[in-house]
Amino acid sequence: MPVDHGAVAARVCAGGIAMKLLVNDLNRRITIQQATTVTDPEGIPTETWTDVATVWASRNPLSGREYFAAAAANAEKTVKYRIRYRPGILPNMRLIDHRDDVTYEVKAVLDDYYGDRTQTHILAEVLQDG
């Protein structure tokens, strides 16, 4: 019997519904970064960005409710990324979408929809100054 290479994980939620996270959906490489302060040899502190993780993600359009929650004036610059479950992502971080070489500021990390720790959803807005 052939193996379905498209299915990465099939998990059973609390309600007994199986959810599949497909490899084909995760078609963007993103790097999540956090701000850190480093001190140079002269003792001057400088803020720099440090990589936290590089993962595969999908980029999805915002739903109607998310569109208005993101403030309609900025919604065209706001996107939602979906990655495999990863704790520790915070709104003070940023991410780089390597497909378009665009840097986004993480605005919100949404709760795991199914409560089964299979996905993390990140609401991000394009940074104007990088």
Q: Which two three-digit tokens encode residue 91? A: 């709104």
**What count of Cα atoms within 13 Å lies in the side-chain half-sphere of residue 43?**
0
pTM value is 0.70
User: For residue 59, which amino acid is it?
Assistant: R
**What count of Cα atoms within 13 Å lies in the side-chain half-sphere of residue 93?**
19
User: For residues 57 and 81, what is the distance between their CA atoms, to the nearest angstrom?
Assistant: 6
Q: What tens-digit pLDDT sequence spans the chain (130 residues)?
A: 444 444 444 444 444 433 455 566 899 999 999 999 989 889 999 999 999 999 999 998 775 555 555 555 454 578 999 999 999 999 999 999 999 899 999 999 987 777 788 899 999 988 875 4
